[in-house]
Amino acid sequence: MTIMTGRCPQTVPSRPLKVALVGECMIEMRGDPASGFSQTFGGDTLNTAVYLSRLSPASHLVTDYITALGADSFSDAMRQLWRTEGVGDRHVRVIDGALPGLYFIQTDAQGERRFLYWRGEAAARQMFDGPQGDGLLETLADYDYLYLSGISLAILTATGRERLFQALRRARESGTRLVFDNNYRPHLWPDAEAARQAYVEVLRLTDLALITWEDDALLFGYADAEALFEAYAGFGVSEVALKRGEAACLIQCAAGRLEVPAEQVRQIVDTTAAGDSFSAAYLACRLQGGDPSLAARWGHRLAAQVVQHRGALIPRAAMPNLALPLFSSAVEA
């Protein structure tokens, strides 16, 4: 069985692969003031971590989440949820007196969502700051793969972000591969130029980029997909999956340019986590030996199911049946 690397396939070792996702999990409230609210938890990289864990046999993949939380009941409940979903919390920094961020989701009749955030003082902003941040940064090189998003970068303090870049360089030198989902949110950055500089910094270290077209067109001003793929080749990114909503996914990889049609959805209920779930399924397939075309089909299938349910995390019973019948070779030591 083979998996992606920066340039070419490699043999999977006999131990499970280790993947860490870096970011922020928040308290999620859904509803409106007139009819009341329901409460759960969510966040882009956390959503991806849960779906990645659901789609990956425990014997093949260890999935951890790296963040900072408080010592409060909401933080404790978050961590319990992660463990229930098979997502490890052993590298969560606890900051006394800090709290998780909070957001409200409201959706319109077409399933498009509107978010209201309270995250300025969230614990996750400080995860890599100070001497206690050193411990988290040192763990990054212990993983085969690291996954982070544009939101992961945006929430950090400027100091924490720079320390993360330094740690990512060290991790990559030791063989860790980096997966990046662009998820550009303008309101989280002081200005677009600060975001562009941070994105370029991380893209130069990235092996697999999972990109939402609208976000990159807004941030970098790409005129079309060809311009985007040319820029990413210049950054040294060896595999790019370009997510375009209901349109076909475009992939640039060692096999060349691929186009994988999206699945048609009769009724969209809520688009929350559509991109996060696509990324999770794509990565799960690639780490189990699937080729990029099959990985995109996995991504489309899961995203199509997710948008037919409310909330970021659909019930386990609603998960689509995804399998890899093509791959039967034994794992080599």
Active site residues: 276
Q: Is the backbone of residue 256 left (phi > 0), alpha (psi -120 to 50) or beta?
A: left
Give Cα 299 distance to the centre of its chain.
Answer: 13
CA distance 181 to 156: 16
Three-class secondary structure of residue 107 per DSSP: strand
Taking each helix axis from N to C end, the angle separating 274-287 and 292-306, rounded to the nearest 10 degrees, works out to 150
Structure-token match 């498009």, residue found? 112
Q: Is the dihedral of CA 220, 226, 232, 233 positive or negative?
A: negative
**Residue 108 near residue 115 (C-beta atoms within 8 A):** no
**Residue 154 near residue 195 (C-beta atoms within 8 A):** yes
Rg of the chain in Å (alpha carbons): 19
**Residue 178 near residue 170 (C-beta atoms within 8 A):** no
Strands 61-69, 17-22: pairing is parallel
CA distance 49 to 53: 6
Structure-token match 């330094």, residue found? 166
> CB atoms < 10 A from the CB of 62, how many?
19
CA distance 92 to 173: 24
**Residue 262 near residue 252 (C-beta atoms within 8 A):** no
**Residue 102 near residue 111 (C-beta atoms within 8 A):** no
First to last CA, the chain: 11
